[in-house]
Amino acid sequence: MVKKFLDDHNIKYDLIEVDLLDSGEQWVTSKEVKRYNPAVTYPTLVIEEVILGLDEEALKEALGIQ
């Protein structure tokens, strides 16, 4: 749903599908995500601030869209 939200608003992003990475890359990526989101839940978006899940109002505010 977050990906659709970003696509619907023509927002460019880098998508990392952690479950498709090999085990070593998953471990490294999870450690990086943990820096922003200690619960390591997905999706986690980092837009100059941490937004967990689909919080449309927070996304719109962070991206400056209506």
Q: What is the residue extent of each domain of the chain?
A: 2-63
For residues 37 and 52, the answer to whether their CB atoms sit within 8 Å is yes
Helix (H) or strand (E) holding 8: helix 2-8
Enter the tokens of residue 45.
């978006």
What is the per-residue pLDDT for 52?
87
Q: What is the tens place of the pLDDT at every residue in 11-24?
A: 889 999 999 999 99
Q: Give this prediction's pTM.
A: 0.66
User: Which tokens sit at 38?
Assistant: 């200690």
pLDDT class of 3 with cuts at 50, 70, 90: very high
Is it true that the peptide bond before 43 is cis, omega within 30 degrees of 0? yes
pLDDT in tens, 22-58: 999 999 999 999 999 999 999 998 887 788 889 999 9
Domain 2-63 annotated CATH 3.40.50.300: no
What is the helix (H) or strand (E) element at residue 59, kind and residue range? Answer: helix 56-63
* Residue 47 · residue 63 · CB < 8 Å: yes
